[in-house]
Amino acid sequence: MNMNDYKDVYVFAEQRNGVIQNVAYELLGKATDLAKELGHQVVAVLLGYGIKDQAQSLVEMGADEVIVIDRPELKDYLTEQYKQAMYQLIMARKPQIVLYGATTIGRDLAPRLACKLHSGLVADCTKLTIELDKEGKKEFYSTRPAFGGNLMATIVCPTSRPQMSTVRPGVMQKLQRDVNRKGIISEFEPVFDEKEFKVRLISTEMNDQKVADISTAKYLVSGGRGVHDAEGFKKLQALADEIGGMVSSSRAMVDAGVMDHAYQVGQTGKTVRPQLYMACGISGAIQHLAGMEESGYIVAINKDKYAPIFSVADLGIVGDLHKIIPMLTERIRREKEQNQ
Amino acid sequence: MNIIVCVKQVPDTTEIKIDPVKGTLIRDGVPAIMNPDDKGGLELALRLKEQHGATVTVVSMGPPQADVMLREALAMGADRAILISDRKFAGADTLATSYTLAGCIKTLDYDLIIAGRQAIDGDTAQVAPEMAEHLGLPQVTYVVDADITPEGLIVKKENEDCVQTLAVDGKCVLTVLASAFKPRYMTVAGIIDAYNREVEVWSAEKIDVDENLLGLKGSPTKVFRSFPKALKAPGEVHELSDEEAVELIFNRLKEKHII
């Protein structure tokens, strides 16, 4: 393998039902930083069917080039179909770096490709950098949490190409959309081996659309074991409504069946970084902290003054949320009325 | 039907604490457990065995201590346990690990392979898909339901935004979520029986692999450094009356222009 043949930073631009996912734009933001350090281009790869008209959106969000693979076989994500198309593209274009969202699609596809390419893949990264190695060469470093978030590990793939990483959604920053930005849009035609298509999609049942996406919330009022039950969450919901925020949950309340998994913050739930995160009755297991510690301002209310959540809180209150939250909601309501 | 279940012994990461002075992981006294998603995979295999009849073989790559976890699998109802253990496997990343497991599985008869979604120590979710690629098999990941019907294997996959129902033609690899398959308990008779049975220990010679692709040598990724997560400077913590607490939070939210 001649490593110098491999060039540019590629982003797998994940789409679902023809809609480009946020994580694709986040990856373009990070890819722009990496490409600048390396003096490379940012290339987005968009796979799907009837999606050509969306390529410009990727240019506006940072891609210098968009390669579209528009085929009926790629309408819905299926491992083998996407693997064949991406593999042929990677062999033809030889990217140095390929980034995927660490979603149920990215984490299904990337390891298949890594194995077929015999190249290194780093999972669920939260930090990507270009640094000089001991010989003064620019090297790509992927950093990720391990041991349930107890430890961070920085991984390198020095001798294989491409270097690939899946990146946790909600961590990297998108660029501002620039509608005047220009880029190349091209198409790639894979040759499919249909004999290998062994998995067939029968049906798709969308989750309840009313379930709010907590990763988009400006303010989150989040509840843990100390909230006790659905009645307790009503108190949090009242406060969230009053400040224009949403309610989220720790794993404990999801496992207890009180809250749906879609609202879970943490290592096995969502990563959030709202301007305000109010942790109510959440002790703060490291797996939970991994999902929220980047929040702008963290308020914690807990009866146990030794709760680990206080180690990441900007403001910690040792007290009873069942009294404090309704009183705070009322206090804010009163203030609003006075100002009207 | 022959079902293979891949299992890993892991430290219970919910029990790991950080030494506040040295900033290192305290691993002493942390129990070693069967990885929860893998245990869910074993549970699925045992349910399929009950419904359709099957021989369930558990396969693990790890140090000799993993014996106890494999006996737990036997006590739950697995029929055969294989531990692939060799110093040559040391330092393996996900690619070398998946290659090693595939090299073992190639020598066995199977109709279905089940693994956990991810291990709680590494959290990569890469080993099973990479193993499927080595074996040239299709895969379905994030599985929450699976059944064998007259039309073949039908599985449900849980995505962030939807649940898909998929049909698989022929042999495949499934990775499952622990939350969907609550594992059964071991029975007393099962435990006694498990200690009278053999856990087969296989070295690198016994599996179908090129030794140059094992362990550190076969691993394209290297750990450059590892470090405990930087702790944020602690903020203010107050013990106040409810009224004072409410005023304090209220004022802080105002200063931050949140209200």
Write the DSSP string, A117-161.
Answer: HT--EEEEESEEEEEE-TTS-EEEEEEEEEGGGTEEEEEE-TTSS
With beta carbons less than 8 A apart as the criterion, state whether B158 and A105 touch. no
pLDDT band at B22 (very low <50, low <70, confident <90, very high): low
- At residue A90, the 3 state secondary structure works out as helix
Q: Within 13 Å, how many C-alpha atoms sit on residue B102's CB side? A: 24
> What pLDDT sits at residue B257?
87
What is the ipTM score, two decimals?
A: 0.91
pLDDT 10s digits, A288-310: 998 998 899 999 999 999 999 99
Residues A135-167: pLDDT tens digits? 999 999 999 988 877 788 999 999 999 999 999
3-state secondary structure chain B: CEEEEECCEEECHHHCEECCCCCCEECCCCCEEECHHHHHHHHHHHHHHHHHCCEEEEEEECCHHHHHHHHHHHHHCCCEEEEECCHHHCCCCHHHHHHHHHHHHCCCCCCEEEEECCCCCCCCCCHHHHHHHHHCCCEEEEEEEEEEECCEEEEEEECCCEEEEEEECCCCEEEECHHHCCCCCCCHHHHHHHHHCCEEEECHHHCCCCHHHCHHHHCCCEEEEEEECCCCCCCEEEECCHHHHHHHHHHHHHHCCCC
**Smallest CA–CA separation between B192 and chain A, in Å?**
32
Is the domain defined by B2-218 classed in CATH 3.40.50.620? yes
Indicate yes or no: CB of B223 within 8 angstroms of CB of A153: yes
Would an 8 Å CB–CB cutoff place B91 in contact with chain A?
no
Q: How far is CA B4 from CA A6, A50, B74, in A?
A: 39, 40, 13
How many residues are listed for chain A in this entry? Answer: 340
Record: contact A316-B94, CB cut-off 8 A: no
Length of chain B: 259
d(CA A312, CA A40): 38
What does DSSP assign to residue A194?
Answer: G
This prediction's pTM: 0.87
pLDDT of res. B231:
64
Tell me the C-alpha distance between B80 and B5, whole Å: 10
What digits encode the pLDDT tens for the residues B172-216? Answer: 999 999 989 999 999 899 999 999 999 999 999 999 999 999 999
Chain A CB contacts of B237 below 8 Å? 305, 310, 313, 316-318
Check A324 against B245: CB less than 8 A apart: yes
Confidence of residue B20 (pLDDT cuts 50, 70, 90): low
Residue A269 pLDDT class (50, 70, 90 cuts): confident
Contact state of B123 with A121 under an 8 Å Cβ cutoff: no
Q: Which residues of A touch B252 (CB under 8 A)?
A: 297, 299, 315
**Residue B117, amino acid:** R
**Euclidean distance between CA atoms B224 and A229, whole angstroms:** 45
If you search the block for the tokens 């009503």, which residue do you land on?
A234
- The distance in angstroms from the start CA to the end CA of chain B is 63
Q: Which of A56, A62, A64 has its CA nearest to residue A29?
A: A62
Give me the percent of chain B exceeding a pLDDT of 70.
96
Q: Which of 99-128 (B) contact A at CB < 8 A? A: 120-127
Contacts of B253 in chain A (CB under 8 A): 243, 276, 299, 332
Residue with tokens 């012994």: B9
Residue B110 has what pLDDT? 98
Single out the residue of A189, A180, A133 nearest to residue A157, CA to CA. Answer: A133
Is residue B114 exposed (0-12), middle (13-18) or buried (19+ Cβ within 10 Å)? Answer: buried
Min Cα separation B167/chain A (Å): 5
d(CA B58, CA B184): 16
Average pLDDT for chain A: 95
Q: How confident is the model over A170-175, as a mean pLDDT?
A: 91
Q: Which residues of A touch B13 (CB under 8 A)?
A: 147-148, 150, 287
Domains and CATH numbers, chain A: 3-196 (3.40.50.620), 214-339 (3.40.50.1220)
The DSSP symbol for A229 reads S
Of B159, B168, B224, the CB nearest to A104: B159
Q: B132–A112: do the CB atoms touch at under 8 Å?
A: yes
Tens digit of each residue's pLDDT (9 = 90 or more) over B62-87: 999 999 999 999 999 999 999 999 99
Mutate to test the interface with A, among B249, B250, B251, B256 (most CBs of A within 10 A): B249
Any residues with CB less than 8 A from the CB of B242 and at least 6 apart, and which?
A: A319, A320, A323, A324, A327
- Give contacts of A208 with chain B, Cβ < 8 Å: none
- The confidence score (pLDDT) of residue A170 equals 85
Task: Please report where in the chains the tokens 């179909």 appear, as a residue.
Answer: A81
Edge-to-edge strands, sheet with A315-318: A246-249, A219-223, A276-280, A297-302, A315-318, B236-239
Among the ranges given (A19-33, A138-152, A304-318), the one the predictor scored with the smallest mean pLDDT? A138-152
CB contacts < 8 A, A to B, total 248
**Average pLDDT over every residue of B46-59:** 98
Q: Residue A17 — left, alpha, or beta (φ > 0 → left; ψ -120 to 50 → alpha)? A: left
With pLDDT > 90 as the criterion, what percentage of chain A qualifies? 85
CA torsion sign, A194 to A199 to A202 to A204? negative
Q: Where are the domains of chain B?
A: 2-218
Cβ contact, residue pair A152, B126, below 8 Å: no
Nearest to A332 among B172, B179, B259 (CB): B259
Running DSSP on this structure, what letter comes out for residue A264?
Answer: B
Specify the pLDDT at position A310. Answer: 93
Reply yes or no on whether the pLDDT at B23 is more than 70: no
